[in-house]
Amino acid sequence: MATTTTTTTPVIINYHTTYCDFEDNDNCGYNQSSRGVSKWYRGEGKLSSLTGPVSDHTLGTPSGVYMYIDAYKSAQWYAPQTVSALLESPVFAPSSSYCLRFWYNMFGANIEDLHVYVKVGGGLGNPVWTRSKGNSIMWLMGQVDLDSEYTSRPFHIVFEATSRSYMTKPTSTYKYDPVYHDTKGDIAIDDVLAYNTTCKNLPECPPGSLLRTGNDSRSCYTFHTSAAFWFRGHVKCKEENARSHLVAINSKEEQDFLVNIIKRDAALTAAGTAGFFTSGNDETMEKHFQWTGAEISNNATYTNWYPGQPNNVGAMQHCLLMEYPNADYQWGDVECDTAHPYICEVDLPNATHQPGPSL
C-alpha cells in the first residue's frame, strides 16, 4: 500500500539569488567578450540530429532559449585550431562568498572545453570550473563555490567554450561555398543562478516548501496562489531552486497528495478555483503531452484527464492544468498564455520517476 509522509521545510532567508534564463532578448545583460575568436548564439529547440541539446532547460520546449557555441559556425580556415567564445555576466556585488550553479550541455565530436572564470578587475586568472569533451545529450548541473579572494570586490562571471573545426576552399572552380570539416557539436548553458552564500548553506528544498516522502518519489513542493502565465511559472520555479520546475504528477499518490494539501488550506482552495499549472504540455507534438523543465523531458505513466479533456479548443490549448476542483482537480488543457496559480516541485535523490508512455 502506498504511503506518504509530509513535513514543512524551515524558512531560511539569508541570501540573495541572481538568476538568468536567457529567455529575454537582452540575455540578462550577459555580453560577448572581445577576447574570443568565436561567439555565443541564442538557440531554440534541437539544432541538428548530430548535436545537443534537444531543448532548453528552463521550459523544455521548442520555444525555450539557451546560449550555445557551434563547431560549424566556429570553423576557421584551412586547418583545425581551437577557438573560444566568451560570455561575460553583469557585475556582481561583493560578498564574503558566492555559490554559482548553472546547467550545461556538451555533445558532439568536435567540441572541446567549457570553462568558468571569475573576472576581477581586468583579468580572468585561471578557471574555477572546467569540463572537457562532454558527450551527454542531457542537461547537467555545474556548481562551484567562490570564496572571498574572488568575491570581496565587484566581479564578473565569464563562460568560455571552445571547439576545433575548420573549412577549406572548394576544389572545383564551379563551386564557391567553403567545404567544412570536423564540425559536429555544440556547447550550451542555461539557467545560471548565483547566490551570495556558500553552496553548503543552500537548503535542499525552497524555504517554506512541503517535503513529501512516498513509495514512488521524494520531492518538495511550493504552492503559489498568485496567477502567472505558464512560461512565467517555470521561471519563478527556477528562481526558487536550481532543480525546481513546474510540478510533474507521476502517480495517483502524488495527485492525491497535492489535492489534499490544497483542500486543507483556505487560500489554496480559493486560488484553486482557477486551477493550478503543471509542467505538462504538448508543444513538441500535438496530443503528445510531456512533463518538461527538469533535466530531461518525461512522458507520464499516470493520467487524470477530466472527461472530454484534452480538447484543444481553438487549436490553442497546449498546457496542462489541474483544472476541476469539484472533481478533485482532474486535468484539462488550456492556453499557455492564460494566467493561473502554479505548483513548483524539486525532485530529490532516490526519486523514482521514470520515462513512460505519452499522456
pLDDT in the model for residue 294:
85
Q: How far apart are CA 118 and CA 242, in angstroms?
A: 20
CB 52 within 8 A of CB 296: no
Exposure class string for 174-189: b at 16+ Cβ within 10 A, else e? eeeeeeeebbbbbbbb
- Residue 266, C-beta contacts closer than 8 angstroms, at least 6 positions apart: none
Q: How far apart are CA 4 and CA 253, in angstroms?
A: 8
Domains of the chain and CATH, by start: 17-200 (2.60.120.200), 207-347 (3.10.100.10)
From the number of C-beta atoms within 10 Å of its C-beta (0-12, 13-18, 19+), residue 115 rates as buried
pLDDT in the model for residue 173:
66
pLDDT in the model for residue 9:
54
For 76, which DSSP code? E
Q: Cell for 233? A: 511559472
From the number of C-beta atoms within 10 Å of its C-beta (0-12, 13-18, 19+), residue 76 rates as middle
Q: What is the pTM of this model?
A: 0.90
Residue position matching grid coordinates 480559493:
270
Per-residue confidence in pLDDT tens, the chain, 359 aa: 344 555 555 545 588 999 999 999 999 999 998 887 789 999 999 887 777 798 999 999 999 999 999 888 888 888 888 899 999 999 999 999 999 999 999 998 888 999 999 999 988 999 999 999 877 888 999 999 999 999 999 999 999 999 988 788 887 766 778 888 888 889 999 999 999 999 999 999 998 899 998 776 789 999 999 999 999 999 999 999 999 999 999 999 999 999 999 999 999 999 999 999 999 999 988 889 999 998 777 886 799 999 999 999 999 999 999 999 999 999 999 999 999 999 999 999 864 444 333 33
pLDDT in the model for residue 176:
74
pLDDT in the model for residue 29:
97
What distance, in Å, lies between the first and last C-alpha atoms of the chain? Answer: 24
pLDDT in the model for residue 39:
93
pLDDT in the model for residue 355:
37
